[in-house]
Structure 1
Amino acid sequence: MPARTSLRTLALALVSATALAVPALPATATEAATEAASTGGPSVVVRWNQALLTAIRTGTLGPPMVARALAVTHTCAYDAWAAYDAVAIGTRLGGSLRRPPAERTEANKAEAISFAAHLAAVDLYPAQRAGFDALMNELGYDPANPSSQAARTGVAACQAVLDHRHADGSNQGNGYADTSGYAPVNAPVVVAEPLTTLNAPGRWAPLTYVNRAGAVVTPPFLAPHWGGVASFSGAAKSLADRVPAPHAYGSAGFRAQAAEIVSGTAALDDRKKAISEYWSDGPSSETPPGHWCLFAQQVSARDRHGVDQDAKLFFALANSVMDAGIASWEVKRDHDSARPITAIRYLYQGQSIPTWGGRTVEGALWTPYQPATFPTPPFGEYVSGHSTFSAAAAEVLRRFTGSDAFGGQAVVAQGSSLIEPGVTPARDVTLRWRTFTDAATEAGLSRRYGGIHFRLGDEQGRALGSAVGTAAWERAKSYWSGRR
């Protein structure tokens, strides 16, 4: 993993508060760590979230699969926890696993959650089992010996979730391979060569480029079947179906949004470049859904959560981003829309246009402000997944905490750019988010600054994400309130 990515992850994990933050936040990252230590450190739920994010960064799953992995793991953890609550019910077995009051101890909750999370994590990331086993051992459990009542409860709760999710339409058992029969209407576009023709310039086209390993690759559309995955709230697909169509290719709206990207990327300053790279969440990262889990970890430390609060928070958050992935991919597949890299090349071929870095380029060779080794994610533009994931997560965090106040920040170090290394930014750039909404808005804008999403894809993605987050929140709350 590049050094800058590691530093970014550390900055997220130890995000500090600023003068704009709510009073409950510590003033520095060091104080945040000290407060966490004084309250016994992160809960067992956060520990498992951290372990899963480590596996995600090492793995190769795309954002919607990562979101599902987070949801499966935290649903297993929640269902195990619910057995030790007086009111909450599990998602699959209801209240049938409920343990008597005498067993509802913190120790039993932690053990049940750990055996459930371990079973889920190994199922989702089998190659990372050694890391999950190591965490079990660190917590004092033998993963090969679920003999206690708490361990058996955790395993039973999780197995019911896994049985359900193995038949949820994701095709996990076959490496999440497409089951829809999708085929692109356009031939691959070689990024290093000028674009001359497209069968359908308003539709998605695969890209051929050299990746970080030095291999020539042409990634297919990622998981075009994902809109058919069973959603947590049951409403993801219907919410996706309400999203209006994007601008038609060749329309005034389409040309205006392309011109906005051209002028916007040509006018990027260091702050906008830093925003684009900070939120990129590309290969070897925790991806957009995991990014918001890092924010939830900070909220947990800020508000001094115990295991009960974290079991519910991460359950609601993870399922909201899973549903955001399902809904946004449904829209992406339905519209199969062109990314800026092909739309702009086709519209501006034969013209000299301005671009980032103070340069001018032949329109047919235009590239977004992205690493050459990952010029644009391999799936349709409309709607923005970043925007949908972020708005859904922000909605849950806002509702769970009872306030939009966040107070987070991160520093993008001088010269740390992967696109313009050693040059950009010219000095440290501090990004601050007074509210969760501010963070979600910036995440959406970052994709426009980076030249991989149009305005409408961002704005409709955020609107969709807010609706998805609301539906997931209501469903999650109904479970821990014992209403289902």
Structure 2
Amino acid sequence: MTTFGDSSVSGFSPRRRSLLLGGIGGAATAALGALGHSGTAAADESGRSAAESVADFDLDTGNFIRDVISRFQPSHPLYEDIAAPMDVTIVQRYIHLSMVSWFDALAPYHPTAVGVYSRLGRRPSSESATNRNKNIAALHANYHVTKAMEPAWEPLFRELLTAVGLDPDDMSEDRTSPVGIGNLAGKAVAAATERDGMNQLGDEGRRYHRQPYADYTGYRPVNTAYELTHPSRWQPKLGSHQRRLGPGRGDKGIFTVQQFVTPQMRLTRAHTFDGPGRFGLAPPTHTDHTRRRAYRHAVDEVLDASATLTDERKLKNEFFDNKLLGVGLAGQVAADARGLDLDGWVHMLFAMSVSIYDALIAVWHYKAKYDSVRPFSAIRHVYGDRPVTAWGGPGVGTVDDLPADEWTSYLNVADHPEYPSASASICSAEAQAARRFFDDDTLDWTQPIPAGSSLVEPGATPGRDLSFHWATWTDFVHDCATSRLWGGVHFAKTSERSVPFGEQFGDLAYEYMRRHVDGDVGD
């Protein structure tokens, strides 16, 4: 782990409130833009539509991430029909490939940088005198990633390009023009990753009726949703048709059984290592049911967290559960606060994105290997139908007569085994990448949370306006990891172990970014 000295910029604060729009129930536009750039005309603070708000974007002096993408937010029904904010592998893959396309599109305008998936030469330094060519190239590159990854979002990204005066139908491949460079960079990212192991096209093992991102590894749980035969192993949850937090769409009376989401993630190509098995992670002995005392202790820690939920903890649960908020916004807030130029934004976000993506590959390797039980199953195994003290549901508060087999976590349980924690691992990974980039641990992020903005307890929680503050990346990672315990979806020891596990990917990603920026990579 890197040792950090005193920050050279202590006391800084994020300047652009546009990066922090809305509470938990609102859209975090910068992060949502990075996910899919799927914007319908959302109004800004002046009442203008998103398209109108970027119409005056200055290609020469502006920053396409901060000034354009952050103004667009998704059409809610379309966005949620494709991916939920908790669906970390799908969400982060989209964000990651977007950011790779930005890096590769800007590389020709940098004195030494070399792209990941394309080698498009070096442009004269005079073409980098302003941000114009970089902004144009990056936006065109991302357009091609959007088309390849999720065609349903193409019309919305076309709107974005048109709003800033660009032509989405310009398919030039002229390596001397920013449009051509962007088109080539984006196409190269899309071509290199469409068969990277994630089954994006849905045709692995089948000729007809494609199923994008479906499992082709043959994973089968040892437990069913109806019977826990092996109390240490993952049990798919039987739940309502509505997977998102809070009230929303879902067929009434329809209940579904979880399937391990994208278990093939562990087989995809990483940037910084050849195989995830090289990273050691001790077995989850705390959920070994043959160690009865340790198993019960792990269960009791979850119950205690459930019984002592506060408004602050509830909202931190929701904040970090949405991967577009906690994980998605942190880097952008830091980049803006530090006053980075456009290259700095792209390079830092690229390093953080690589750290998250590669960490997820290793996390999924161990999720499949250990196939660990989730708290809801373990609680029922230990206590059966005996009463426990815990959160009694939205608006109910803590009760002392809750049958253990009716216990429910504050957060929705994700569709994959428990160990390690993906959220804790990727928060730790991106934090370490940022520490290495800035050479300090300072974050100093204040996030306002409006009263009543909870998704789980809308209108009631929090009872007053709150303000979260993370002085350091270490504070940020602590809350991210601990929120998984508070939310009832991870055991305490899982969250604790996931932090150092994730951190190593931040180091690897920073060094990977540095090699690509310095041009120290092979052909």
TM-score range for the pair, normalised by the shorter chain length: 0.7 to 0.9
Aligned to 1:19: none
C-alpha offsets along residues 253-294 of structure 1, whole Å, 9 cap, x if unaligned?
22211111112211222222222222221xxxxx25x64332
Normalising by structure 2, report the TM-score.
Answer: 0.78
Q: Which moved more, 1:43-52 or 1:314-323?
A: 43-52
Matched, 1:185 2:193: no
Paired position in structure 2 for 1:446: 483
Answer 1 or 2: higher relative contact order, Cα 8 Å, separation at least 6: 1
Instruction: Give yes or no for the alignment of 1:207 onto 2:237.
Output: yes
TM-score, scaled relative to structure 1: 0.84
Match of 1:262 among 294, 303, 316: 303
The structure richer in helix per residue is 1
Do structure 1's residue 72 and structure 2's residue 97 form an aligned pair?
yes
1:235 offset after TM fit, Å? Answer: 5.5
- Aligned residue in 2 for 1:337: 372
Structure 2 SS opposite 1:407: strand
Identify the residue that residue 44 of structure 1 maps to in structure 2: 64
2:419 to 376, 382, 395: 382
- Alignment of 1:347 with 2:382, yes or no, is yes
Q: Structure 2 CA distance, aligned partners of 1:416 and 1:334? A: 38
Q: Counterpart of 1:44 in structure 2: which amino acid? A: F
Identity of aligned residues (%): 27
Match status 1:159 vs 2:159? no
Q: Residue type of the partner of 1:353?
A: V
Equivalent residues of 1:186, 1:200 under 8 A apart: yes
Q: Does 1:364 align with 2:394?
A: no
Residue 511 (structure 2) pairs with residue 474 (structure 1) = yes
Opposite residue 459 of structure 1, the aligned amino acid is E
Task: Give the conservation status (yes or no) of the 8 Å contact 1:448–1:455.
Answer: yes
Correspondence for 2:450: 413
Structure 1 spans left out of the alignment, 5+ residues = 14-28, 31-36, 190-196, 282-286
Contact 1:52–1:70 (CA under 8 A) maintained in structure 2: no
Deviates more, 1:384-393 or 1:208-217: 208-217
State how far apart, in whole Å, the 1-side matches of 2:453 and 2:118 are: 49
What residue is the counterpart of 1:97 in the other structure? 121
1:24-423 aligned within 5 A: 43-46=63-66, 50=70, 54=74, 57-58=79-80, 59-60=82-83, 62-94=87-119, 96-105=120-129, 106-147=131-172, 149-174=177-202, 175-189=212-226, 197-210=227-240, 211=242, 212-215=248-251, 216-234=255-273, 237-238=276-277, 241-247=279-285, 248-251=288-291, 252-281=293-322, 287=323, 291-356=326-391, 357-359=397-399, 360-370=401-411, 375-423=412-460
Match 1:455 to one of 492, 506, 509 = 492
d(CA) in 2 for partners of 1:57 and 1:97? Answer: 36
Rounded Cα–Cα distance in structure 2 between residues aligned with 1:333 and 1:41: 47
Query: Structure 1 residues 236, 446: closer, same or farther in 2, change over 3 A?
Result: farther
CA contact (8 A) 2:30 2:69 kept: no
Residue 304 of structure 1, CA deviation: 2.2
What value does the CA root-mean-square deviation take over the aligned residues? 2.8
* Alpha-carbon offset, residue 7 of structure 1: 3.4
Q: Secondary structure at the match of 2:182?
A: helix
Output the CA distance in 1 between the equivalents of 2:338 and 2:515: 23
